[in-house]
Amino acid sequence: MNILVINSGSSSIKFQLIQMPSETLVCSGLVERIGEKDGIINYITDSNNIKLTCPIKNHNVGLKRIVELLLDPEKGVIENTDDIGIVGHRVVHGGNSFSNTTLISEDVKQKIKEISALAPLHNPNNLEGIVVAEALFPNAKQAAIFDTAFFQTLPEKAKRYAIPNSLYTDHNIQVYGFHGTSHKYVTEKALQYLKLKTSKIITIHLGNGCSMTAVVNGKSVDHSLGFTPSNGLIMGTRSGDIDHAIVFYLVTVLGFDLDKVNTLLTKESGMLGLTGYNDLRDIQAQAEKGNKDCKLALAMNAYRIKKYIGAYVAAMNGIDAIVFTAGIGENSSVIRQLVCEDMDVFGIHLDAVKNNLRSSNIREINTTDSKTKVLVIPTNEELEIAKQAYELVH
Protein backbone atom coordinates (compact mmCIF):
# COMPACT_ATOMS: atom_id res chain seq x y z
CA MET A 1 0.00 0.00 0.00
CA ASN A 2 1.23 3.50 -0.89
CA ILE A 3 1.05 6.00 1.93
CA LEU A 4 1.53 9.70 1.22
CA VAL A 5 2.89 11.46 4.29
CA ILE A 6 2.21 15.17 4.44
CA ASN A 7 3.66 17.72 6.83
CA SER A 8 1.92 20.97 6.02
CA GLY A 9 3.61 24.00 7.62
CA SER A 10 2.96 27.73 7.46
CA SER A 11 4.78 28.29 4.16
CA SER A 12 5.90 24.79 3.20
CA ILE A 13 4.64 21.27 2.56
CA LYS A 14 7.01 18.34 3.14
CA PHE A 15 5.95 15.04 1.61
CA GLN A 16 7.08 11.43 1.27
CA LEU A 17 5.52 8.50 -0.51
CA ILE A 18 6.25 5.32 1.45
CA GLN A 19 5.26 1.79 0.54
CA MET A 20 4.05 -0.24 3.50
CA PRO A 21 4.60 -2.71 5.04
CA SER A 22 7.98 -2.90 3.26
CA GLU A 23 8.82 0.66 4.47
CA THR A 24 10.19 1.52 1.02
CA LEU A 25 10.70 5.23 0.35
CA VAL A 26 9.35 5.84 -3.19
CA CYS A 27 9.80 9.61 -3.39
CA SER A 28 10.15 12.65 -1.19
CA GLY A 29 10.09 16.37 -1.56
CA LEU A 30 9.40 19.81 -0.25
CA VAL A 31 7.33 22.71 -1.50
CA GLU A 32 8.68 25.92 -0.02
CA ARG A 33 7.83 29.63 0.01
CA ILE A 34 4.12 29.13 -0.44
CA GLY A 35 2.50 32.55 -0.89
CA GLU A 36 5.73 34.23 -2.05
CA LYS A 37 6.59 35.34 -5.58
CA ASP A 38 9.04 32.50 -6.23
CA GLY A 39 7.90 29.22 -4.78
CA ILE A 40 10.32 26.28 -4.83
CA ILE A 41 9.53 22.61 -5.36
CA ASN A 42 12.06 19.86 -4.62
CA TYR A 43 11.17 16.36 -5.76
CA ILE A 44 13.40 13.31 -5.34
CA THR A 45 12.94 9.76 -6.62
CA ASP A 46 15.47 7.00 -7.33
CA SER A 47 16.09 8.46 -10.79
CA ASN A 48 15.14 12.15 -10.40
CA ASN A 49 16.29 15.06 -8.32
CA ILE A 50 14.28 18.02 -9.50
CA LYS A 51 14.18 21.61 -8.32
CA LEU A 52 11.51 23.87 -9.83
CA THR A 53 10.78 27.52 -9.22
CA CYS A 54 7.24 28.78 -9.80
CA PRO A 55 4.68 30.88 -7.98
CA ILE A 56 2.71 28.81 -5.45
CA LYS A 57 -0.21 30.91 -4.33
CA ASN A 58 -1.44 28.72 -1.49
CA HIS A 59 -1.43 25.19 -0.05
CA ASN A 60 -4.04 24.06 -2.56
CA VAL A 61 -1.73 24.99 -5.44
CA GLY A 62 1.28 23.49 -3.63
CA LEU A 63 -0.39 20.13 -3.14
CA LYS A 64 -1.73 20.16 -6.73
CA ARG A 65 1.86 20.61 -7.98
CA ILE A 66 2.94 17.64 -5.86
CA VAL A 67 0.14 15.51 -7.32
CA GLU A 68 1.13 16.54 -10.87
CA LEU A 69 4.70 15.39 -10.20
CA LEU A 70 3.53 12.10 -8.65
CA LEU A 71 1.40 11.45 -11.75
CA ASP A 72 3.89 12.73 -14.35
CA PRO A 73 4.29 10.10 -17.14
CA GLU A 74 8.11 10.38 -17.01
CA LYS A 75 9.08 11.51 -13.53
CA GLY A 76 6.03 10.25 -11.67
CA VAL A 77 5.66 7.25 -9.36
CA ILE A 78 1.92 6.51 -9.54
CA GLU A 79 -0.57 6.26 -12.42
CA ASN A 80 -3.65 7.49 -10.67
CA THR A 81 -4.53 9.23 -7.39
CA ASP A 82 -6.34 6.04 -6.34
CA ASP A 83 -2.90 4.40 -6.07
CA ILE A 84 -2.54 6.25 -2.77
CA GLY A 85 -4.24 4.16 -0.06
CA ILE A 86 -3.80 6.54 2.86
CA VAL A 87 -2.71 10.14 3.26
CA GLY A 88 -1.03 10.47 6.68
CA HIS A 89 -1.07 14.03 8.03
CA ARG A 90 1.21 15.33 10.73
CA VAL A 91 -0.88 17.39 13.13
CA VAL A 92 1.08 19.26 15.76
CA HIS A 93 -1.53 19.65 18.49
CA GLY A 94 -4.09 17.08 19.51
CA GLY A 95 -4.85 18.70 22.88
CA ASN A 96 -6.46 16.18 25.23
CA SER A 97 -8.78 14.94 22.50
CA PHE A 98 -6.41 12.57 20.71
CA SER A 99 -4.20 9.99 22.37
CA ASN A 100 -3.79 8.00 19.17
CA THR A 101 -3.63 8.22 15.42
CA THR A 102 -7.14 8.78 14.08
CA LEU A 103 -9.02 8.53 10.81
CA ILE A 104 -10.15 11.99 9.82
CA SER A 105 -13.87 12.77 9.94
CA GLU A 106 -15.82 16.04 10.07
CA ASP A 107 -15.80 15.74 13.84
CA VAL A 108 -12.00 15.24 13.95
CA LYS A 109 -11.48 18.28 11.70
CA GLN A 110 -13.70 20.35 13.94
CA LYS A 111 -11.68 19.30 17.02
CA ILE A 112 -8.37 20.10 15.27
CA LYS A 113 -9.82 23.53 14.50
CA GLU A 114 -10.91 24.07 18.10
CA ILE A 115 -7.43 23.09 19.35
CA SER A 116 -5.90 25.71 17.02
CA ALA A 117 -5.99 28.22 19.86
CA LEU A 118 -3.26 26.09 21.50
CA ALA A 119 -1.09 25.94 18.33
CA PRO A 120 -2.01 28.93 16.17
CA LEU A 121 1.12 28.64 14.02
CA HIS A 122 0.66 24.95 13.24
CA ASN A 123 -2.84 23.47 13.45
CA PRO A 124 -4.51 25.79 10.88
CA ASN A 125 -1.86 24.83 8.29
CA ASN A 126 -2.16 21.15 9.14
CA LEU A 127 -5.92 21.42 8.70
CA GLU A 128 -5.50 23.20 5.39
CA GLY A 129 -3.34 20.27 4.17
CA ILE A 130 -6.08 17.83 5.22
CA VAL A 131 -8.86 19.69 3.42
CA VAL A 132 -6.83 19.99 0.21
CA ALA A 133 -5.74 16.32 0.31
CA GLU A 134 -9.34 15.18 0.79
CA ALA A 135 -10.27 16.91 -2.45
CA LEU A 136 -7.24 15.65 -4.39
CA PHE A 137 -7.35 12.05 -3.10
CA PRO A 138 -11.10 11.46 -2.72
CA ASN A 139 -10.76 7.67 -2.44
CA ALA A 140 -7.81 7.57 -0.04
CA LYS A 141 -8.25 7.25 3.70
CA GLN A 142 -7.03 10.34 5.56
CA ALA A 143 -5.29 9.84 8.91
CA ALA A 144 -4.10 12.39 11.48
CA ILE A 145 -0.95 11.63 13.45
CA PHE A 146 -0.57 13.95 16.44
CA ASP A 147 2.77 15.20 17.82
CA THR A 148 1.20 15.38 21.27
CA ALA A 149 -0.26 11.84 21.36
CA PHE A 150 2.84 10.15 22.82
CA PHE A 151 2.53 12.33 25.93
CA GLN A 152 -1.00 11.36 26.87
CA THR A 153 0.55 8.91 29.35
CA LEU A 154 2.22 11.66 31.44
CA PRO A 155 1.04 11.32 35.04
CA GLU A 156 -0.83 14.28 36.46
CA LYS A 157 2.08 15.21 38.74
CA ALA A 158 4.24 15.74 35.64
CA LYS A 159 1.71 17.38 33.35
CA ARG A 160 0.14 19.92 35.73
CA TYR A 161 1.47 23.41 36.42
CA ALA A 162 1.25 24.77 39.95
CA ILE A 163 -1.28 27.45 39.01
CA PRO A 164 -4.93 27.70 40.10
CA ASN A 165 -6.84 24.51 39.26
CA SER A 166 -9.46 26.33 37.21
CA LEU A 167 -6.85 27.18 34.59
CA TYR A 168 -6.42 23.45 34.06
CA THR A 169 -10.03 22.38 34.38
CA ASP A 170 -11.61 25.30 32.48
CA HIS A 171 -8.84 26.35 30.12
CA ASN A 172 -6.72 23.21 29.54
CA ILE A 173 -3.46 24.85 30.60
CA GLN A 174 -1.07 21.91 31.15
CA VAL A 175 1.99 20.21 29.63
CA TYR A 176 1.16 18.78 26.20
CA GLY A 177 4.61 17.93 24.82
CA PHE A 178 5.89 18.02 21.24
CA HIS A 179 8.16 16.00 18.89
CA GLY A 180 6.12 12.98 20.02
CA THR A 181 6.42 11.16 16.69
CA SER A 182 10.21 11.31 16.94
CA HIS A 183 10.34 10.31 20.62
CA LYS A 184 8.01 7.38 19.92
CA TYR A 185 9.99 6.22 16.89
CA VAL A 186 13.37 6.21 18.65
CA THR A 187 11.85 4.70 21.81
CA GLU A 188 10.60 1.70 19.82
CA LYS A 189 13.96 1.32 18.05
CA ALA A 190 15.80 1.54 21.39
CA LEU A 191 13.56 -1.04 23.04
CA GLN A 192 14.01 -3.46 20.11
CA TYR A 193 17.77 -2.98 20.45
CA LEU A 194 17.98 -3.23 24.24
CA LYS A 195 15.66 -6.28 24.54
CA LEU A 196 14.92 -5.55 28.21
CA LYS A 197 11.86 -6.90 30.05
CA THR A 198 11.41 -3.58 31.82
CA SER A 199 13.10 -0.39 30.73
CA LYS A 200 13.85 3.16 31.83
CA ILE A 201 15.23 5.34 29.07
CA ILE A 202 15.64 9.02 28.24
CA THR A 203 15.18 10.14 24.63
CA ILE A 204 16.95 13.37 23.69
CA HIS A 205 15.71 15.03 20.47
CA LEU A 206 18.12 17.81 19.48
CA GLY A 207 17.14 19.55 16.24
CA ASN A 208 16.17 23.17 15.72
CA GLY A 209 13.68 22.50 18.45
CA CYS A 210 14.99 20.38 21.34
CA SER A 211 13.24 18.20 23.89
CA MET A 212 13.74 15.26 26.24
CA THR A 213 11.37 12.53 27.36
CA ALA A 214 11.58 10.12 30.29
CA VAL A 215 10.13 6.80 29.14
CA VAL A 216 9.29 3.83 31.40
CA ASN A 217 8.44 0.56 29.63
CA GLY A 218 7.76 2.44 26.38
CA LYS A 219 5.41 5.02 27.93
CA SER A 220 6.33 8.67 28.44
CA VAL A 221 6.32 9.77 32.08
CA ASP A 222 7.89 13.23 31.79
CA HIS A 223 8.84 15.63 29.02
CA SER A 224 10.70 18.93 28.75
CA LEU A 225 8.47 20.93 26.38
CA GLY A 226 5.26 22.17 27.94
CA PHE A 227 2.08 24.03 27.08
CA THR A 228 3.95 25.31 24.01
CA PRO A 229 7.24 24.17 22.44
CA SER A 230 9.22 26.78 24.44
CA ASN A 231 10.14 25.14 27.72
CA GLY A 232 13.18 23.14 28.77
CA LEU A 233 16.34 22.84 26.72
CA ILE A 234 18.26 25.64 24.99
CA MET A 235 17.22 25.52 21.31
CA GLY A 236 18.35 27.16 18.06
CA THR A 237 16.39 30.36 18.66
CA ARG A 238 14.28 29.56 21.74
CA SER A 239 15.47 30.20 25.29
CA GLY A 240 14.03 27.11 26.96
CA ASP A 241 13.61 27.46 30.75
CA ILE A 242 13.77 31.00 32.06
CA ASP A 243 12.39 32.74 35.13
CA HIS A 244 8.98 33.95 33.90
CA ALA A 245 9.42 37.17 35.88
CA ILE A 246 11.90 38.23 33.17
CA VAL A 247 8.85 38.76 30.95
CA PHE A 248 7.40 41.27 33.42
CA TYR A 249 10.76 43.01 33.73
CA LEU A 250 11.03 43.31 29.92
CA VAL A 251 7.55 44.84 29.77
CA THR A 252 7.43 47.07 32.83
CA VAL A 253 11.05 48.21 33.07
CA LEU A 254 12.43 47.93 29.53
CA GLY A 255 9.19 48.90 27.76
CA PHE A 256 8.80 45.85 25.49
CA ASP A 257 5.33 45.03 24.20
CA LEU A 258 4.15 41.42 24.36
CA ASP A 259 4.75 40.71 20.68
CA LYS A 260 8.32 41.86 21.05
CA VAL A 261 8.82 39.66 24.12
CA ASN A 262 7.41 36.69 22.24
CA THR A 263 9.70 37.31 19.26
CA LEU A 264 12.67 37.77 21.57
CA LEU A 265 12.13 34.50 23.44
CA THR A 266 11.16 32.30 20.49
CA LYS A 267 13.11 33.71 17.53
CA GLU A 268 16.05 35.68 18.91
CA SER A 269 17.14 33.69 21.96
CA GLY A 270 18.67 30.25 22.46
CA MET A 271 21.94 29.56 20.66
CA LEU A 272 21.29 32.49 18.29
CA GLY A 273 20.91 34.95 21.15
CA LEU A 274 24.06 33.68 22.85
CA THR A 275 26.31 33.54 19.78
CA GLY A 276 24.78 35.24 16.73
CA TYR A 277 24.47 31.83 15.02
CA ASN A 278 21.70 29.28 15.24
CA ASP A 279 23.24 26.48 13.17
CA LEU A 280 25.24 24.31 15.53
CA ARG A 281 27.85 23.58 12.85
CA ASP A 282 28.75 27.30 12.75
CA ILE A 283 28.84 27.50 16.54
CA GLN A 284 31.15 24.47 16.80
CA ALA A 285 33.45 25.86 14.10
CA GLN A 286 33.64 29.25 15.85
CA ALA A 287 34.25 27.60 19.23
CA GLU A 288 37.16 25.68 17.73
CA LYS A 289 38.64 28.98 16.61
CA GLY A 290 38.42 30.20 20.21
CA ASN A 291 35.15 32.21 20.11
CA LYS A 292 34.28 32.55 23.82
CA ASP A 293 30.55 33.12 23.32
CA CYS A 294 30.31 29.95 21.24
CA LYS A 295 32.27 27.91 23.79
CA LEU A 296 30.02 29.14 26.57
CA ALA A 297 26.84 28.48 24.56
CA LEU A 298 27.93 24.86 23.92
CA ALA A 299 28.69 24.43 27.63
CA MET A 300 25.32 25.94 28.64
CA ASN A 301 23.47 23.79 26.12
CA ALA A 302 25.05 20.57 27.39
CA TYR A 303 24.66 21.62 31.04
CA ARG A 304 20.89 22.06 30.58
CA ILE A 305 20.62 18.58 29.06
CA LYS A 306 22.65 17.12 31.94
CA LYS A 307 20.31 18.70 34.48
CA TYR A 308 17.28 17.16 32.76
CA ILE A 309 19.01 13.76 32.70
CA GLY A 310 19.49 14.08 36.46
CA ALA A 311 15.86 15.06 36.95
CA TYR A 312 14.55 12.19 34.83
CA VAL A 313 16.76 9.56 36.48
CA ALA A 314 15.25 10.74 39.77
CA ALA A 315 11.72 10.69 38.29
CA MET A 316 12.19 7.09 37.04
CA ASN A 317 14.38 5.93 39.93
CA GLY A 318 16.86 4.46 37.47
CA ILE A 319 18.20 4.56 33.96
CA ASP A 320 19.06 1.88 31.37
CA ALA A 321 19.88 4.04 28.37
CA ILE A 322 19.97 7.54 26.97
CA VAL A 323 19.19 8.03 23.29
CA PHE A 324 20.43 10.91 21.13
CA THR A 325 18.48 11.77 17.98
CA ALA A 326 17.68 14.48 15.33
CA GLY A 327 20.12 16.80 13.50
CA ILE A 328 22.31 17.68 16.47
CA GLY A 329 21.80 14.49 18.49
CA GLU A 330 22.73 12.30 15.52
CA ASN A 331 25.61 14.40 14.20
CA SER A 332 27.27 16.41 16.94
CA SER A 333 29.87 14.31 18.73
CA VAL A 334 30.83 17.52 20.56
CA ILE A 335 27.44 17.95 22.24
CA ARG A 336 27.21 14.23 23.05
CA GLN A 337 30.64 14.33 24.65
CA LEU A 338 29.87 17.47 26.69
CA VAL A 339 26.59 15.92 27.89
CA CYS A 340 28.14 12.59 28.86
CA GLU A 341 31.29 13.79 30.61
CA ASP A 342 31.35 13.63 34.42
CA MET A 343 28.18 11.53 34.55
CA ASP A 344 29.75 8.58 36.44
CA VAL A 345 27.08 8.89 39.10
CA PHE A 346 24.54 7.70 36.51
CA GLY A 347 26.78 4.95 35.14
CA ILE A 348 27.25 6.87 31.87
CA HIS A 349 30.66 6.33 30.22
CA LEU A 350 31.15 7.44 26.64
CA ASP A 351 33.60 5.70 24.29
CA ALA A 352 35.39 8.61 22.58
CA VAL A 353 36.28 6.60 19.48
CA LYS A 354 32.75 5.24 18.96
CA ASN A 355 31.33 8.71 19.59
CA ASN A 356 33.29 10.05 16.63
CA LEU A 357 32.29 7.33 14.16
CA ARG A 358 29.54 8.13 11.65
CA SER A 359 26.72 5.84 10.60
CA SER A 360 23.10 6.14 9.55
CA ASN A 361 22.23 3.09 11.66
CA ILE A 362 21.46 2.71 15.33
CA ARG A 363 24.74 2.63 17.26
CA GLU A 364 25.96 2.19 20.81
CA ILE A 365 28.66 4.71 21.79
CA ASN A 366 29.26 3.85 25.45
CA THR A 367 32.28 1.95 26.76
CA THR A 368 31.77 -1.79 27.21
CA ASP A 369 31.69 -1.41 31.02
CA SER A 370 29.23 1.52 31.01
CA LYS A 371 26.24 0.55 33.16
CA THR A 372 24.00 2.88 31.18
CA LYS A 373 23.90 2.52 27.41
CA VAL A 374 24.35 5.59 25.24
CA LEU A 375 22.63 5.14 21.87
CA VAL A 376 22.49 7.26 18.71
CA ILE A 377 19.32 6.50 16.76
CA PRO A 378 18.44 8.36 13.55
CA THR A 379 14.87 9.56 13.78
CA ASN A 380 12.39 9.17 10.94
CA GLU A 381 9.18 11.00 11.67
CA GLU A 382 7.73 10.41 8.19
CA LEU A 383 8.22 6.66 8.47
CA GLU A 384 6.63 6.69 11.92
CA ILE A 385 3.62 8.54 10.46
CA ALA A 386 3.38 5.98 7.64
CA LYS A 387 3.64 3.09 10.12
CA GLN A 388 0.93 4.49 12.36
CA ALA A 389 -1.36 5.24 9.41
CA TYR A 390 -0.84 1.72 8.07
CA GLU A 391 -1.47 0.09 11.45
CA LEU A 392 -4.64 2.12 11.86
CA VAL A 393 -6.33 0.52 8.87
CA HIS A 394 -4.91 -3.03 9.26
Residues at the contact surface with ligand ADP, assessed by CB under 6 A: 207-209, 236, 279-281, 326-328, 331-332
CB 203 within 8 A of CB 215: yes
- Report the residue closest to ligand ADP, judged by CB: 327
Q: CA-to-CA distance for 93 and 126, rounded, in angstroms?
A: 9
The nearer residue to ligand ADP, 153 or 337, going by C-beta atoms, is: 337
Which residue, 128 or 381, has its beta carbon nearer to ligand ADP? 381
In the complex, the smallest distance separating the C-beta of residue 331 from ligand ADP, rounded to whole angstroms, is 3
Least distance CB 374 / ligand ADP (angstroms): 17
- 215-242 as b/e, with b when 16 or more CB fall inside 10 Å? bbeeebbbbbbbeebbbbbbbbbbbbee
CB of 205 to ligand ADP, least distance (A): 8
* Shortest separation between residue 32's beta carbon and ligand ADP, angstroms: 13
Other C-beta atoms closer than 10 Å to the C-beta of 155 total: 12
The one-character DSSP state at 350 is B
147 catalytic residue (yes or no): yes
Q: Which of 72, 147, 257, 259 is catalytic?
A: 147
DSSP code for 238:
-
- Least separation in angstroms between residue 248's CB and ligand ADP is 30
- Residue whose CB is less far from ligand ADP, 29 or 207: 207
258-267 and 245-252 helices, crossing angle to 10° = 130
DSSP-assigned letter for residue 195:
-
Residue 13 or 316 having the CB closest to ligand ADP: 13
Burial class (CB in 10 A: 0-12, 13-18, 19+), 293: middle
For residue 18, which phi and psi values (nearest 5 degrees)?
-125, 130
Nearer to ligand ADP, 222 or 330 (CB): 330
Q: Which is nearer to ligand ADP, 134 or 279 (CB)?
A: 279
C-alpha–C-alpha distance, residues 244 and 237, integer Å: 17
Residue 345 has φ and ψ, to the nearest 5°, of -60, -25
Axis crossing angle, helix 106-114 with helix 123-136, rounded to the nearest 10: 160
Segment holding 311, helix H or strand E: helix 292-316
Shortest distance, position 338 Cβ to ligand ADP, whole Å = 12
Catalytic sites, residue numbers:
147
